[in-house]
Amino acid sequence: MTDRLDIEVADAAGAANAKADPPKRKVFTRTYGCQMNVYDSERMNDVLAPQGYSVTEDLADADLVILNTCHIREKAAEKVYSELGRIRKVKEERALAGKDMMVGVAGCVAQAEGEEISRRAPIVDMVFGPQSYHRLPKLLEEAASGKKVVETEFDIDAKFEHLSERAARPVQKRPPAAFLTVQEGCDKFCTFCVVPYTRGAEVSRSVAQIVAEAEQMAAGGVREITLLGQNVNGWHGEAPDGKTWGLGRLLRRLSEIDGLDRLRYTTSHPRDMDDELIDAHRDLKTLMPYLHLPVQSGSDKILAAMNRKHTRDEYFRLIDRIREASPDIAMSCDFIVGFPGETDQDFEDTMDLIRRVEYGSAFSFKYSQRPGTPGATMADQVPEEVKGARLAELQALVASQQTAFNASRLGMTCDVLFERKGRNPGQLVGKSPWLQPVPVDAPEALIGTIQAVEIVEIGSNSLFGRLVAGHHASNGSSHDAIKEAAFDA
C-alpha cells in the first residue's frame, strides 16, 4: 500500500490563460493500492493545480483531503472509514480555527460504496469513482455550494479524452520513471475479483493518445515508462490507419521515441500473452527483462473455480515460450491461498508450480471474500488458520527463490536508472532491469541517467552496487551482455 502520495504538478498553460490568479489552497492526497491509483492521483493533482491547489504533506494544513482508495485488500472499506474518523477530528479542529476543509473519497471503494460513504461519514463532501477525477473542478464547485456529491458513472471515454488534452500542454519536468495508463477495466470476471464492478469493462486508449502522452513524458525527462492496465496485455487500441494494434505492436512504436530508454507493463493475464508480445521481449532492448504474470493458483480445480480459463500446463508452456524469447527475464506472480474448496493437494499443486517456475518475486495473499463476487458465496470456505499456515509456507518458498535470483546477479554489471537520493549521504537509488532497487554511492547529478553498475552485494529485495569507472551505459547497452550470462550465474 502506498500510504501517501504527495506530488505537485504545475499547470503552466492553465495559469497563463487564467483571467485572475486562483486562490492559494492546499491538497493532501493519500493513495492506497495499485500503480493505477498512483497514476490517477498524479492526474488529480494535475487537474487541481489550475484551481490554485498545491500539495501539502501536512493533513492539518489541507483545504482539501482526497483518499484515493483500493478495494482489493481485505476490509478495504472499513479501513477507509477508520481513516475518515481520524480526518473528522482534524476537520473539526480546523473549523474551530475558522478554516474550512473539504473531504473527498475517490477510487474503487468510492465506486463500490457510493451513497453509503456519505451516509456513514457525513464529513465527506465528495464521493467519486476512478473514471470521474477529470471532473474534479466541477465536483468541487458543487460541493462548495453545499451539495453532497456522489459521482460513480463509468465515463471512461471522457477520462481518456482529458488525458489526451493534458498531453498537448507545455512540457513540465517529470521524474525519471513514470506510469502511463493505456487500458482500464476487465472483462475476465475472475470469481474472487471486484475490478469488473469497480472499474468497468475493458476499454483501451488509442495509439495516438498513448504516443502523445509518452512523447510529452520523454520530453519532460522521463527515461522509463510503465504501461498500466487492469489487464494491460489485453490492450487493443485504434492505430492511426484505423487498424487495431495489440500491446506488442504498441511497445515497438513507443521504443522509437527519442529519450525513452526503458519500457515495462503491468498487470498481465496469461490468456493475453500472444506471439507478438512475446516476440517484443526477444527483440526490443528497451523492453526490460521483467514480467508480472499472475497465475493465482497451481491447481486446475481451483483455476476453474476462479474462472481463470487456463490450466497449469498451459501456464507452464507459456513460461517456456517467454523464457525462450528472453532467457534473463525475472518472472513475478500473484498467488491467492485458501480459495473456497482448496484442499491440501490443491495447495501442494501451487507449491509445485512455484518450484518449477522459479520466480524472482511474487505477491501472495489469503483469500478474502468480496461482497458481490461469486467467490464470496461459494461453499467450502477455508478456515483462517489454514489460510495463514499455507500463506506462511508459500511465502517462505517464494522468499528463497527471490534470494536465489538476487544472488545470481552478484558480480554482474547491469544498467541502472538512477531515480532519487538514498537514505545515506552521497547515495542514490536506482532501478535494475529486473526491477530491484539498487543503492549506489554516486553524485546527485546522475539522477535521471542510466549508468553501468557492478552488483557487489545482495539484500532480500535490493541489489547493492558500485559505479563502473569510465563506463556510461544508456539505451540498454549492457542488456545484451547480461542476456547470455544471466542464468549461467
Please give the annotated binding residues for [4Fe-4S] cluster, written as ranges. Answer: 34, 70, 108, 186, 190, 193
Chain CA centroid to CA 8, Å: 19
CA-based end-to-end distance of the chain: 33
| Cα–Cα nearest to 111, from 64, 156, 69 | 69
d(CA 218, CA 178): 10
As annotated, the binding site includes 34, 70, 108, 186, 190, 193
Integer CA distances (angstroms), 461 to 114, 139, 214, 422, in order: 38, 42, 29, 15
Cell of 329: 527475464
Report residue 471 CA to chain centroid gap.
32
| Residues 386, 393: Cα–Cα separation, whole Å | 11
The C-alpha R_g of the chain, in whole angstroms, comes to: 23
Q: Residue 7 gets which letter from DSSP? A: -
Cell reading at 188: 475476465
User: Which set of grid coordinates corresponds to residue 111?
Assistant: 465506486
64 Cβ contact partners less than 8 Å away, ≥ 6 residues apart: 25, 26, 27, 28, 48, 53, 101, 102, 103, 104, 140
Q: b/e for 120-154, b at 16 or more Cβ within 10 A?
A: ebebbbbbbbbbbbbbbeebbebbeeeeebbbbeb
Sheet strands (E) in 94-223:
102-107, 126-128, 149-151, 177-181, 183-184, 203-204
Cell of 404: 536465489
Q: Residue 19 burial (CB < 10 Å; 0-12/13-18/19+)? A: exposed
Interacting residues of 444 by C-beta distance below 8 A, sequence separation 6+: 421, 428
179: exposed, middle or buried (Cβ count in 10 Å: 0-12, 13-18, 19+):
buried
Q: Spell out the residues 6+ positions from residue 15 whose beta carbon is closer than 8 angstroms to its own.
A: 21, 50
Distance, CA of 48 to CA of 42 (rounded, Å): 10
| CA 63 – CA 72 distance, rounded (Å) | 29
